[in-house]
Chains A and B, each alone.
Chain A
Amino acid sequence: MGRIVRTYKSKLGRAAVWASRVIVLCLLSTVLNAQTSVPAAETEQPVPILTGNAGFFTNVNGGETELVPSINPVLLVPLGDRWLVESRAEFTGEFERPDGGGPYGGKVEQEIDYLQLDYIANRYLTVTGGRFLTPFGIYNERLYPIWIRSLQPTPLIFPLGTGSSDGGMLRGGFSLNPKVNLNYATYFSTLSTVNKFESGRTAGGRLGFFLPGARIEVGASFQKELQDERANAFGFHFAWQPAAIPLNLRSEYARSHDGSGYWIEAAYRLSQVPFWQKAMRRTEIVGRGQQLFAGEISEDDAKEYGLPDVNTRQGDFGLNYYVRDGLKASASYSRRFNSDGNVNLWTLGLAYRFAFPLGRVGEQ
């Protein structure tokens, strides 16, 4: 009887110890969550915004002139402290003279680049669902808008691994220590043939390290196709903005079964030039070198994706003048070399970024 009681007490004791361990672990996670799930810092309640950009560019590609008006509205609707609905549409006209002369005519492309719901779970994690820009490299997510990009022609490798995806994504950025920030994004995309919401079945992610002191970012991207050839794609990116001079260096490399290649771009603001300072500090010169190695891709697919189907080299030179906040005049010249024939590409135009509140904002 005594043995049974001792055994019972012993089992009860062990159970209590284990129960207390479990409780402590749960409570520790609660405390951690309480410390990390502080709502986003906002001095005021955020208001819905309609922002985006509009532009008008004249492109001359190998002697053929094309007029390209575009408008890209971005709708931002914050909900509570942690939620955000964001969407960007793209309306781009491509107007050319018909063969034999006549007035300019053409079509207006309409796209929904993203329509997503974000939940900021804590300082480490944001959960996204819906249609989002595929996080592959940095150009697609960060540099694509016409008021941001330094050169209007997109890089040759831009179609590799990028575009939009329909599915779910986990992402975030946080400090590893005072000298290093880590940012990441990982996602799954489902196959969709719905008009304006087309996407492929893929999974992938991006990992980046940003050194705020040196203003250097390096990172890598990976994508696995879960349909058709089930091909892999990967890429690397690098960005450096030295504090001493107004220079912005960026570069990407990408490789997939459709092709591979790289681009290196330098944008230099002339604010340190000692003469005509009023004009010079608004002026930026840009240079980019790039190369694409064509992959296993048909001529039709290459045309659809906007990829050259032969090995191509290209040099780009640009000039930007920032007229005022959000308004930029841009010009660029590119020389393209490939076996289809070397051509000159010119662009000239204006890009404007707008932002309107969709509610009362009070005094600034």
Chain B
Amino acid sequence: MNTRVAILTAVLALVSSVYAATPPRKSENDRASISTPAVRSSAEADAMRIQGEQRFHANCGRCHTAPQKFPPRMMATIVRHMRVRATITDEDMRLVLFYMTQ
């Protein structure tokens, strides 16, 4: 009995983990916003922008003044560089990037 329960549990865990680990399929339209946090409304975008500005001042402002906004592809590189250099958290990096590219 224990054996069956254990095997059943293992199979269920296997199926659920494979499902969880499978990345969602991207359509062509999604390619322009790779891994961007999904924004459902303008209110949500505004909230993220405010959050991003706060994170920007809290993290980036510790060392340097606010730079101008660069094109998004440059900002993506700069933010990755700063993530490593200043050990910025993943969430802060996403919000700062959203703020700096809007």
CA distance A34 to B10 in the complex (A): 18
Q: Are B6 and A16 in contact (CB under 8 A)?
A: yes
What's the least CB distance linking A41 to chain B, in Å?
4
The 8 A CB mask of A169-200 against B (1 = contact, 0 = none) is 00111110000010111000000000000000
Looking at chain A, what size class is its interface with the partner chain? Answer: 35 or more
Do residues B62 and A41 form an inter-chain contact, with CB atoms below 8 A?
no
Q: Are A49 and B84 in contact (CB under 8 A)?
A: no
Across the interface, which residues of A come within 8 angstroms of B81, CB to CB?
A: 76, 84, 86
Contacts A27-B14, A42-B97, A43-B98 hold; do A142 and B63 have CB atoms under 8 A apart? yes
**Contact across chains for B3 and A40 when beta carbons are under 8 A apart:** no
Complex contact B86–A241 (CB within 8 A): no
Across the interface, B68 reaches (CB within 8 A) one of A41, A49, A126, A325, namely: A325
A175 and B87 in contact (CB under 8 A), knowing A42-B76, A43-B97?
no
User: Does A175 lie within 8 Å of B73, measured CB to CB?
Assistant: no
Q: From residue A240, how far is it (CB to closest CB) to chain B in Å?
A: 9
Q: Are A147's CB and B64's CB within 8 A? A: yes
The reply to whether the CB of B29 lies closer than 8 angstroms to some CB of chain A is no
B55 CB to nearest chain A CB (Å): 7
A143 contacts partner chain B, Cβ-Cβ < 8 Å:
yes
A355 lies within 8 A of chain B by Cβ = yes
Q: A43-B34, A147-B64, A217-B62 are in contact. Are A173 and B101 (CB under 8 A)?
A: no
A231 in the interface (beta carbon within 8 A): no
Asked if A20 contacts B32 (CB within 8 A), the reply is: no
The interface size of chain B toward A, counting residues with CB under 8 Å, comes to: 56
Are B76 and A39 in contact, with the CB atoms below 8 A? no
Provide the bound-state CA to CA distance between A331 and B74, in Å.
31
Task: Tell me what chain B mostly uses at the interface: helix, strand, loop, or mixed.
Answer: helix
Q: How many A-B residue pairs have CB under 8 A?
A: 190
Question: Of B3, B67, B86, which one neighbours A326 at CB under 8 angstroms?
Answer: B67
Proximity string of chain B (1-23) to chain A, C-beta cutoff 8 Å, 1 when within and 0 when not = 01100110110011011001100
- Which residues does chain A contribute within 8 Å of B58, judged by CB atoms? 212, 215, 241
Quote the shortest CB–CB distance from A185 to chain B (angstroms). Answer: 7
Complex CA–CA separation, A106 to B92 (angstroms): 45
Q: Say which residue of A78, A126, A142 sits within 8 Å of B77 (CB atoms).
A: A78
Known: A23-B10, A175-B89. A44 touches B84 (CB 8 A): no
Do A48 and B13 touch (CB < 8 A)? no
- Residues of A near B80 (CB, < 8 A) are 40, 42, 46, 76, 78, 84, 120
- Nearest chain B CB to A52's CB is how many angstroms away? 12
Contacts of A172 in B (CB 8 A): 87
- A361 near B2 with CB under 8 A, answer no
CB <8 Å contact, B73 and A361: yes
Is B49 on the interface with A (CB-CB < 8 A)?
Answer: no
Q: Is the CB of A44 within 8 A of B87?
A: no
Smallest CB separation, B93 vs chain A (Å): 7
Q: Which residues of A contact B68 (CB under 8 A)?
A: 325-326
Set of chain B residues within 8 Å of A39, measured between Cβ atoms: 34-35
Contact B71 A185 (CB under 8 A): no
User: In the docked arrangement, what's the CA distance between A185 and B85, Å?
Assistant: 10
Alpha-carbon separation in the docked complex, A19 to B3 (Å):
10
Contact: B70 with A364, CB < 8 Å?
yes
Question: How far apart are the CA atoms of A162 and B12 in the complex, in Å?
Answer: 52
CB-CB under 8 A for A40 and B35, given A16-B7, A19-B10, A322-B65: yes
11 of the cross-chain contacts (CB-CB < 8 Å) are A13-B2, A33-B21, A42-B80, A46-B74, A51-B78, A76-B77, A84-B84, A123-B89, A175-B91, A181-B89, A217-B62
Footprint of B on A, CB under 8 Å? 12-13, 16-17, 19-21, 23-24, 27-28, 30-31, 33-35, 38-49, 51, 76, 78, 81, 84, 86, 118, 120, 123, 126, 128, 141-143, 147-148, 171-175, 181, 183-185, 208, 212, 215, 217, 239, 241, 248, 322, 325-326, 353, 355, 357, 359-364
